[in-house]
């Protein structure tokens, strides 16, 4: 790998994988809860919640990044509070890149999981409740296992989105080599230089390879979960 990529490219690759993995882990728990609420409950404000969840998809990523900077920057309400109480800093740190990637990936994760939950036969859930199973047990033992292919799809889609996120990330945390420079921002920086086309193309090939491997793994996991 070191013969194919420069040390800075390797650093960008490893950081991208780290950011994408952390972003995916951050989005899955709330994504499952929100997807279940949207799929199984109708309530005043349902459309508002659905709209808020999908808002990052329709807003320019730069706007999302700027809003994150206002909220989670060192002078932001949430950013200053988190730094004071927990020592957690997002602005211009890799954690901020993971947060921006998670926000951008969240709508896709929720949508994939929601569609899978909606495909689960509600009569199975109703039968379990009629037999005395508490709601949490119904969710954990029936709804969640039967919607597992959607969870896998959501995780893979979220990981891919986080891996390729650029606009919100570079606005929120800039592109600092070794700290916040991911593969997309590294490619962008390289193509701005006269001799950067070759190194940029190498990173493009690596990105394609990672994405393709992710698809193969998700297909294999989905088949294994669906196997009776």
> How do residues 24-53 score in pLDDT, each as one tens digit?
999 999 999 999 999 999 889 999 999 999
Q: Exposed e or buried b for every residue in 96-130, given b needs 16+ CB within 10 A?
A: bbbbbbbbbbbbbbbbbbbebbeebeeeebeebee
What number is the average pLDDT over the span 151-156? Answer: 89
Match 């959501």 to its residue by tokens.
154
CA distances in angstroms from 212 to 89, 96, 108, 122, 188, listed in the order given? 33, 26, 18, 35, 21
The CA distance from 56 to 69, in Å, is 15
> Is the pLDDT assigned to residue 4 strictly greater than 70?
yes
Structure tokens at 145: 């296992």
Is pLDDT at 145 greater than 80 in this prediction? yes
Query: Percentage of the chain surpassing pLDDT 70?
Result: 96
Res 214 pLDDT > 70 = yes
Instruction: Answer whether residue 221 shows pLDDT above 80.
Output: no
Determine the pLDDT at residue 77.
86
| Domains of the chain: residue spans and CATH | 16-181 (1.10.3720.10)
Q: Is the pLDDT confidence value at 226 over 90?
A: no
User: Which of 192, 34, 194 shows the shortest CA–CA distance to 114?
Assistant: 34
What is the distance, to the nearest Å, from the Cα of residue 53 to the centroid of all Cα atoms in its chain?
13
- Identify the band that residue 80 occupies on the pLDDT scale cut at 50, 70 and 90: confident
Q: In the predicted model, is pLDDT for residue 228 greater than 80?
A: no
pTM score of the predicted model: 0.89
Sequence-distant (≥ 6) Cβ neighbours of residue 39 within 8 angstroms: 114, 117, 118
Residue 74's pLDDT band, with cuts at 50, 70 and 90, is: confident
Q: So what's the pLDDT on residue 181?
A: 92
Confidence of residue 63 (pLDDT cuts 50, 70, 90): very high
């Amino acid at each position: 790998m070191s013969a194919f990529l420069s040390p800075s490219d390797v650093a960008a690759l490893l950081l991208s994988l780290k950011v994408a993995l952390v972003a995916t882990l951050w989005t899955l728990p709330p994504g499952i809860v929100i997807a279940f609420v949207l799929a199984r409950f109708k309530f005043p404000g349902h459309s508002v919640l659905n709209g808020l969840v999908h808002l990052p998809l329709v807003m320019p990523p730069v706007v999302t990044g700027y809003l994150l900077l206002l909220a989670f920057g060192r002078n932001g309400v949430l950013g200053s509070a988190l730094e004071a109480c927990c020592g957690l800093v997002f602005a211009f740190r890799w954690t901020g890149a993971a947060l921006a990637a998670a926000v951008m990936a969240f709508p896709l994760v929720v949508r994939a999981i929601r569609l899978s939950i909606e495909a689960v036969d509600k009569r199975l859930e109703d039968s379990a409740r009629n037999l005395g199973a508490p709601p949490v047990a119904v969710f954990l033992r029936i709804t969640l296992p039967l919607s597992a292919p959607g969870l896998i799809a959501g995780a893979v889609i979220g990981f891919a989105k986080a891996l390729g996120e650029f606009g919100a990330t570079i606005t929120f945390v800039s592109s600092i080599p070794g700290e916040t420079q991911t593969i997309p921002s590294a490619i962008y920086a390289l193509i701005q230089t006269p001799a950067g086309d070759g190194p940029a193309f190498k990173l493009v090939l690596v990105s394609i390879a990672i994405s393709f491997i992710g698809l193969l793994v998700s297909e294999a996991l989905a088949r294994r979960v669906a196997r009776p």
